[in-house]
Amino acid sequence: MEASTSPRIVVGVDGSEQSIAALRFARKLAPPFNAVIQAVSTWDYPPEYAGYVPIGSDNFEEITHKHLDTAVQSAFGDDPPEGLEKVVLFSHPSKGLVKAAEGAVMLVLGRRGHGTFRGLLMGSVSGACVAHAKCPVLVVEGSTGEMPEDHA
The pTM score is 0.83
Q: What is the pLDDT at residue 118?
A: 45
Helix (H, G, I), strand (E, B) or coil at 129: helix
Would the pLDDT of 1 be above 50? no
Of the given ranges (46-55, 95-104, 130-139), which has the lowest mean pLDDT?
46-55
In this prediction, residues 81-104 reach a mean pLDDT of 96
**Closest to 137 in 3D by CA, of 113, 112, 108, 100:** 108
Is 8-47+57-140 assigned to CATH 3.40.50.620? Answer: yes
Q: What distance in Å separates the CA atoms of residue 93 and residue 147, rounded to the nearest whole number?
A: 26
Q: What distance in Å separates the CA atoms of residue 15 and residue 18, rounded to the nearest whole number?
A: 8
pLDDT digits (tens, 9 = 90+) for 102-146: 999 999 999 873 333 444 445 789 999 999 999 999 999 876 555
Of the given ranges (28-37, 40-49, 81-90, 92-101), which has the lowest mean pLDDT?
40-49
Q: What is the pLDDT at residue 114?
A: 34
Q: Provide, rounded to the nearest whole percent, the portion of the chain with pLDDT above 90.
A: 66
DSSP characters over 15-37: SSHHHHHHHHHHHHHHHHHT-EE
